[in-house]
Structure 1
Amino acid sequence: MAERGGEPTWWDRLLPVTAGRDEEPAAWWERSLAALAALSAVLAMIWIFGVSTFPLTAIAAVPLAVVAALPLIVPGRRPFAVTSVTCAVVLIVLAIPLYFLCAHLFLPSAVLLLLAAFGRRARLPYRVWVPAIALLLVVVTGLWSSAIWQSVLSTPNVYVVHLPHNGPYPGRDITNGDGSGIGFGATMVSMGDDTLYVSFRKGLSDTEVARLDARLHELMPYATSIERCRSHRRC
């Protein structure tokens, strides 16, 4: 679109008009980059749902993921590019003020949307985009899958010790923060409300974990329960 008198708008300068072609569908590689942006946003949302204990964080993740996916439903090459830039800017602008709501996790989607909008300017042949998009797919899914596995799906290396409400409580030799008072692979100890959290190092064998379990029962026979934490959200 141009202003009266034939002067181009700032959108025209940013995304030059191609006569007769701007209503054509976006190229397959542009749509693929937008789909990668949406995929990254969905995986970010899954990670947030898995680790967040603050309801507002999970609620905020949904509209951010929707913003990242909007270009996929826009027809026409130019409308697609304009929507991609707009959505990317929204995600970038919100990343700082909503950092505490994990909005920065949607920045990879913003980068992919900008690449989808401006990638045509590079004038790369189509054969270059095939391995490039395949590589981006591997990177996006690989990094997010690893993060989701480690932070959401894997069993935490933490024992939770529930203590009687009125005591007794373990001594300082046990609650020493580096776990040295417990040993058997314990690396960190922290206290909550009548609860002791004992972290242990990764890579312990099942036998070593069983020994740590026995050690905790030996040190704190008065505990109401001693169990391995099953969810990252709870410990």
Structure 2
Amino acid sequence: MKLAALTDIGSCRQENQDNYCGQQLTDGSGWGIVCDGMGGANGGRVAAKIATDTMLQYFSRQLKTLRHGEEKQFIMRGFDITNRAVYDKATSDPDMLGMGTTGVCAYIYENMAHIVHAGDSRAYLFRGGQIRQLTRDHSMVQQLVDSGQITREQAAAHPQKNLITRALGVSANIVPEYNRCGIEKGDIILLCTDGLTNMVSDEEIALILQETTFFDAPGVLVDRALLGGGQDNITVLLMGVESTEETNG
């Protein structure tokens, strides 16, 4: 397991309200989380930081209690605790009222990746030059796509594409979405905010991951998003399912 990550304010924002955290663990496993905060003034930045800090604390304290076969319950419980931490801050501090954050978290253990998310930050699997989205956006536009009212191409340019339907911290309870997928040596799990995916197509992302060394790839992806306009904060976190080679091509 290896990790590489980068966040950037982008070209149009006054502050970076994204945050991320990840850890390589001694048993060869690893985890990571990427968050995209929302809320006036400093609210979004605070929400995203609380979320990443809470998940770090959760993994650090509770991972030793995890039993094989209970990974889904473990990662979902972490999201519940994280949601409550953000919500408690939002409701106890008038300056933070209404804040929240997207979140996408992956825990990789042995031959499986466990993914939980809320909002439109995404997880992808990159394997053998191909990329596959593992998460489904919790957004108004995605609902329109799912119901057949608009196409995926129309969704990309929709004026309401940033309206999300789920987020951490906006209510006392949350129903995050869980997915899992088998992984192999050489695979990469990509976690990212919409500052990347709104500026760079999935095909371009796959090509960059194919042609760039692992530890250089976050910088190249961020640069490509900036070149595309950099209209939002950009965060990329890569989790590589091999420990010795630095290239994926």
Structure number having the greater helix percentage: 1
Q: Which has the higher contact order (CA 8 A, sep 6+)?
A: 2
Structure number having the greater strand percentage: 2
**TM beyond 0.5:** no
TM-score, L = length of structure 1: 0.29
TM-score, L = length of structure 2: 0.28
Max Rg structure? 1
